[in-house]
């Protein structure tokens, strides 16, 4: 383990790695949360209720089969859960490995951009593959890299 900085110095908002992590993570959380109203919007538009008691809200006359547009957004939302949520922890732990600031900051920026693009090509305007696969892969590899760096550092 390096003799380097103490953890409380790394977990300080004056550490640019930490404050950029907090900034981009918060942006990702906002993006993640907005999947819920996006789902609602499409439930209204397609009159697709998730539960019998929701039928009056979305003006549905029957429960019917799941609507494909709604399901697509729910898949994008689930994909966010599978990727953004572990990143929120992996990124925080990665800050504690005292990475090179420029590398860490750009990883946070790129990975956030990748998740915005992922949602765009998945749930807003469907773009043929490999658009979504590439967006997924960028964030995935960066999160995996951060977790591996933590393992090597804290082992």
Q: Tell me which residues touch a copy of itself (CB under 8 A).
A: 1, 6-8, 11-14, 18-20, 22-23, 25-27, 29-30, 32-33, 35-36, 50-51, 53-54, 56-57, 72, 75, 77, 81-86, 88-90, 93, 96, 122, 126-130, 132-133, 136, 140, 143-144, 147-148, 150-151, 154-155
Q: Could you tell me the smallest distance in angstroms from the CB atom of residue 41 to a copy of itself?
A: 14
Provide, rounded to whole angstroms, the least separation between the CB of residue 17 and a copy of itself: 12
Judged by CB, which is closer to a copy of itself: 46, or 72?
A: 72
CA 87 – CA 94 distance, rounded (Å): 10
**DSSP string across 35-57:** HHHHHHHHHHHHT--SSGGGHHH
Give the number of other CB atoms < 10 A from CB of residue 15.
Answer: 17
CB count within 10 Å of CB 103 equals: 10
Find the shortest distance in angstroms from Cβ 26 to a copy of itself: 4
Task: CB nearer to a copy of itself: give 30 or 100.
Answer: 30
Q: How far is the CB of 48 from a copy of itself (least distance, A)?
A: 14
Q: Which is nearer to a copy of itself, 114 or 122 (CB)?
A: 122
């Amino acid at each position: 383990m390096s003799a380097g900085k103490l953890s409380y110095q790394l977990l300080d908002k004056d550490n640019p790695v930490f404050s950029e992590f907090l900034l981009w993570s918060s942006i990702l959380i906002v993006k993640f949360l907005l999947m819920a109203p996006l789902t609602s919007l499409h439930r209204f538009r397609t009159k697709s209720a998730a539960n019998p008691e929701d039928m009056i809200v979305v003006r549905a006359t029957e429960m019917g089969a799941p609507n494909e547009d709604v399901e697509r957004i729910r898949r994008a939302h689930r994909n966010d859960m599978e990727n953004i949520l572990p990143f929120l922890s992996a990124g925080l732990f990665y800050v504690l490995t005292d990475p090179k600031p420029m590398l860490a900051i750009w990883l946070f920026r790129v990975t956030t951009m990748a998740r915005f693009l992922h949602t765009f090509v998945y749930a807003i305007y469907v773009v043929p593959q490999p658009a979504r696969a590439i967006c997924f892969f960028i964030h995935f590899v960066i999160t995996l890299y951060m977790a591996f760096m933590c393992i090597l550092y804290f082992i």
